[in-house]
Structure 1
Amino acid sequence: MDTNLDNTMLFETNAPGLGPDDLRVIEMRGFQALSTPYEFKLVLHCTLEGGLAPDAIDELLAAKSQLGFGPGGVHRVSGVLRQIELLQLELDGSRSLYEAYLVPRLWLTSLTRRSRCFNEMSVPDAISTVLTESGLATGTDFELRLVETYPEKEYVVQYEESDFAFISRWMERLGLFYAFEQSDDCEKLVITDSNSQLVAAPENGACTYSMHEQQGVSGAIHRMRRRDRRMPSAVHVRDYNWRTPSRGVRGDADVDSEHGFGLQN
């Protein structure tokens, strides 16, 4: 999504020493998708003479931040800044522009890389442990809304990978996916195994389609694409249980039995 100067865009942070009008959004471009940490690229105008001091930048990167856009800044996206870069600084220090990237706090799990073993624990419990260790609070910052029951495993190994790569790998293996719910205070990570556990879109919701980007057009879709591709006809998976080596472990599922081609083993 894109915005222009005619739309209301707000930037707020709890970084100490920065006032509500010290950083103003003049441009924003964002990307959001299921099971993907969103990212919003911001161009910020700093009204402080001489721009941001190094200590102020460190505090800004460590602080929680929030972006507001739409009429009156009604749409809110919370998170942290993963990067901030000086784009322009006037010679007299009267004007400075910065480029910053707003991401959810889940992104912070990509900064921790390690190897360890979770013993006698279900995968959802291991994911919850990783998120809690990263500073996210159960119920407020993340929630596991699971329909199915997941048994304990003898051990689950994280080997030379980031915390984010570890939980992403196991969510993909179990068929879990995630989305974010935004509130006035923060973003909540919701991990689930069923569409029924996510907040439904408003009934009879409508978006404006405009083929050409125009100044002052808010909440409009400017570009849309559809892609179709050939799929395999079926998927076969096999595994091995050392406790019962003579018993085959296999699962089969049709993907597109009518128009598909080939098999995924």
Structure 2
Amino acid sequence: MSQNGLRFTLDVDGLTPAATAVARFTLYQNLSTPFLLTVDIASDRSGLTAVSFLEKNATLTLWQGNTPLRYLHGIITGMETGENNHWQMNYSLTISPPLWRCGLRQNFRIFQQQDIRAISTTLLTENGVTDWVPSFYEAHPPREFCVQYGETDLAFLTRLWAEEGIFFFDWFHPTGPDQKLVLCDDVAGVSTLGSLPFNPNTREVSTECISELHYRAQVRPSSVENQDYTFKTPGWPGYFSHHATNLNGQRTQYEIFDYPGRFKDEQHGQDFARYLAEGFRHDAETAACASNSPKLWPGKRFTLTGHPSLTLNREWQVTGSVLKGEQPQAQHGHRGEGTTLSNRLDVIPADRTWRSSPLP
């Protein structure tokens, strides 16, 4: 992608564009983790306080000329003052998604005869997270009971989603600031960007591409066995197992045994064994990439073409990204190299579903 005409803006409720000129930003995104956006701004207002920023809605927009490339919306959860050069005051802002608020409330609670969708609806609604959607391809039957024991709402939900094989990411509307939290349990729910060429000569290319890709494989647990007990059916064995695929020649002796497995029926028992195995192996095959595209983030897939190692020309899904932008001309009297944008990615093959690492 060409850097010509690239610019960044930040809109904050109650503030003018001159008060929020973007000097630089870094956006950290990972599957099953609320995003973290840090933005350094140069402002024509030196008297702004915490009240001017905290809990305000903020939208970062990446532009190519007058064409928006990407939006990101969140709430300001932190601010810090910087230097004042007598023309502008520098501020550093931390921006998080609405889901972040779930980490501020702790509770003791029991849910009975409810499935994961109902439990999620209750807690997300109570925390003001209304723009979310389930994208489920697996069965998630009701649980007999489920206990939140001294956990924050976010820690509790994250643990339940991991048990149920659910990962989450933010979906962004391509032509506006609308975005939604997506709960997903299969790679089929991850949208694709199509093909991206491999081109290490980014200085000479004006189209979106992958400029680096470093593949890594490592030994991980090969199988999971879990077991649980219910007093209602004392003779029920409650024993299930799952053996991993895509072992790449590693030994099959690395077994994880989990007891109690936190299930009371066969559907949950078999599914939990598979989700555990896939969670333990979510980084068995990975790659670290660099790209000039701002359209790659967790919740996206792409097909790599043109790499000299033919085995790497395949479909990949993004599990993590660090998007950085620099706009030094936003600061009065600052000389720089102009606006720049870079994207570092973590990816895994797209022929499997990423699961969270098992949580205690």
Q: Normalising by the residue count of structure 2, what TM-score does the alignment of the two structures yield?
A: 0.62
- The corresponding residue for 1:159 is 149
Do the aligned partners of 2:61 and 2:72 also contact (CA within 8 Å) in 1? yes
In structure 1, the residue corresponding to 2:195 is in which secondary structure? coil
Give the structure 1 partner of residue 91 of structure 2: 98
Q: Which of 65, 78, 86 is matched with 2:81 structurally?
A: 86
Structure 1: distance between partners of 2:118 and 2:172: 24
Which of 21, 25, 28 does residue 28 from structure 1 map onto? 25
1:74 maps to which of 35, 55, 69: 69
Once the 2 structures are TM-superposed, how far is the Cα of residue 220 of structure 1 from its aligned partner? 6.6
2:196/2:208 contact within 8 Å kept: no
Cα displacement string for residues 101-141 of structure 1 (whole angstroms, at most 9, x for unaligned residues): 2221111111111111122211221011111111122xxx1
Check conservation: 2:225, 2:256, Cα contact below 8 A: yes
Q: Determine the C-alpha separation between the residues in 1 that align with 2:236 and 2:196.
A: 52
- Matched-pair contact (CA < 8 Å) for 1:122–1:153: yes
Residue pair 2:196, 2:210 contacting (<8 A) in 1 also: no
C-alpha contact (below 8 Å) 1:7/1:69 kept by paired residues: yes
Aligned residues: 247
- 206 and 77 in structure 1: CA distance in 2 versus 1, 3 angstrom threshold: farther
**For 2:194, what is the secondary structure of its paired residue?**
coil
How far residue 80 of structure 1 moved from its aligned partner, in angstroms, is 1.2
Q: Could you tell me which amino acid in structure 2 is paired with residue 229 of structure 1?
A: Q
1:80–1:55 Cα change, 3 Å? closer
**Any residues of structure 2 matched to 1:136-147 within 5 Å, and which?**
136-137=129-130, 141-147=131-137
Q: Which letter maps to 2:7?
A: T
C-alpha distance 61-54 of structure 1, shift in aligned 2 (>3 A): closer
| Paired residue secondary structure (2:193) | coil
Residue 245 of structure 1: SS of its match in structure 2?
Answer: coil
1:64 is aligned to 57
1:113 to 103, 106, 109: 106
Whether 1:249 and 2:238 are equivalent positions in the alignment is yes
Q: How has the CA–CA distance of structure 1 residues 129 and 175 changed in structure 2, closer, same or farther, with 3 Å as cutoff?
A: same
Listed as ranges, the matches of 1:1-265 within 5 Å are 7-13=6-12, 15-16=13-14, 18-48=15-45, 50-56=46-52, 60-72=53-65, 73-90=68-85, 92=86, 94-137=87-130, 141-183=131-173, 184-198=176-190, 200-206=191-197, 209-210=200-201, 224-256=213-245, 258-260=249-251, 261-265=253-257
Q: Give the partner amino acid of 2:83.
A: Q
Report the secondary structure of 1:151's partner residue.
coil
Counterpart AA for 2:37: F
Instruction: Specify every segment of 5 or more residues in structure 1 that has no aligned partner in the other structure, as ranges.
Output: none
Give distance in 1, aligned partners of 2:11 and 2:125. Answer: 25
Larger mean Cα displacement after TM superposition, 158-167 or 253-262:
253-262
**Length-normalised TM-score, structure 1:** 0.83
Tell me how far apart the structure 2 counterparts of residues 222 and 42 of structure 1 sit (CA, whole Å). Answer: 26
- Give the share of equivalent positions with the same residue, in percent: 22
Q: 1:154 deviation in Å?
A: 2.8
For 2:128 and 2:162, the matched residues in 1 are separated by 23
Could you tell me which runs of 5 or more consecutive residues in structure 2 were left unpaired when the two chains were aligned: 258-360
SS of equivalent to 2:17: coil
**Root mean square deviation, CA, Å:** 2.6
**RCO comparison, higher one (Cα < 8 Å, 6+):** 2
Residue identity in the other structure for 1:235: V
d(CA) in 2 for partners of 1:88 and 1:40? 21
